[in-house]
Structure 1
Amino acid sequence: MIRLSKLTDYAVVVLSRMSQDAGAVHTAPALARSTGVPEPTVQKCLKLLSKAALVASRRGAAGGYALARPAEAISVAEIIAAMDGPIALTACVDGASGGCGVERVCAMRGGWDRVNRAIKGALESVTLADMAAPSCTTHLPGALTDFIPAGAGN
């Protein structure tokens, strides 16, 4: 099973909330209250998202965090990479080496690259705006709606 971390899920929730008031500056406590995500978790998400330049921090009395780009310009793949690191299904994807004890004799070496590129491409085609839409499955690109059971999310 491929599963995103809870932190990535929370980051999407926080960013979705921020996208509802595009251009507004949000504080961690306010985001925690409006999303139900614990404040320390919101703070951790914002720190990682800021490091990845997905949100911009502002200091001072009116400080907080704002989206660094419009929600339409932030992909789900970027959010995942900011929170969990590069998207890679196996230790040997995209030419990586040293992460597997049998890589020298593995018949699948390089075989997962095609699958990884397809998944990464699909995640790159879904934006934060798509995720924040009230009924997000109606806005997803065709490649992803093929994997969603009829009636799910509606």
Structure 2
Amino acid sequence: MRLSSMADYAVVTMSAAARHCGGVRVSAAELATETGLPAPTVQKLVSLLTRSGLLRSIRGAGGGLQLARPAAAITLADIVEAVEGPIALTSCAPQGKHDCALEQSCAVRPHWAIVNEAMRGALAGVPLTRLAQGAVPAPQNEIDREMA
């Protein structure tokens, strides 16, 4: 599975917004400058993330954007779903989708829900607070391989 560019950019944008926590408001233009993303892309993402309840837009003097919830209460799964929709590895898995020629005879289809739950659970286990941190040390198993 690979995230779309927009989902990736949404994570980058939300991470930047999280670094402005504590009630500090930031503009979409500031997020674009900070992240290096094109301003129209950030503007589109801000609309999606606001509609999904992850960002809050305050108008007027002193307005701007801020996280709609504490960064610890926003997960990677929330951000990906705001841009991509429900997390599903196959097109047959989401409810109501019936575009697979094998749907009627597929013995694997009933099991995709378990896989999708595991994938969503893994993404839901990564809070925005962790994504907003600076460089993260390599996992221990990677360090062990480098030393071998």
Give TM class, smaller chain. Answer: 0.7 to 0.9
How far does the alpha carbon of each residue in 1:88-109 deviate from its partner, in whole angstroms, 9 at most, with x for none? 1112225544131210011212
Name 1:142's counterpart in structure 2: none
Are the structure 2 counterparts of residues 3 and 137 from structure 1 closer, same or farther at C-alpha, using a change threshold of 3 Å? farther
- The answer to which structure, 1 or 2, has the higher relative contact order (CA under 8 A, 6+ apart) is 2
Are the structure 2 counterparts of residues 106 and 53 from structure 1 closer, same or farther at C-alpha, using a change threshold of 3 Å? same
TM-score (norm 2): 0.88
Are the structure 2 counterparts of residues 136 and 106 from structure 1 closer, same or farther at C-alpha, using a change threshold of 3 Å? same
Shift of 1:61: 2.8
Gaps of 5+ in 2: 144-148
Name 2:6's counterpart in structure 1: 7
TM-score (norm 1): 0.84
Identity across the alignment (%): 44
Name 2:55's counterpart in structure 1: 55
Are the structure 2 counterparts of residues 87 and 137 from structure 1 closer, same or farther at C-alpha, using a change threshold of 3 Å? farther
**Where do 1:3-152 residues align within 5 Å?**
3-22=2-21, 23-93=23-93, 95-136=95-136, 150-151=142-143
Give the whole-Å Cα distance in 1 for the aligned partners of 2:53 and 2:106.
37
- Please tell me whether the aligned partners of residues 25 and 64 of structure 1 are also in contact (alpha carbons under 8 angstroms): yes
| Larger mean Cα displacement after TM superposition, 55-64 or 74-83 | 55-64
Give the whole-Å Cα distance in 2 for the aligned partners of 1:96 and 1:89.
15
Gaps of 5+ in 1: 139-144
Are the structure 2 counterparts of residues 137 and 53 from structure 1 closer, same or farther at C-alpha, using a change threshold of 3 Å? farther
Shift of 1:137: 5.8
Q: How many residues align?
A: 142
Q: Describe the SS at the equivalent of 2:142.
A: coil
Stretches of 4+ moved more than 3 A in 1? 94-97, 135-138
How far does the alpha carbon of each residue in 1:109-138 deviate from its partner, in whole angstroms, 9 at most, with x for none? 212221111111111111111111223467
| Larger mean Cα displacement after TM superposition, 44-53 or 3-12 | 3-12
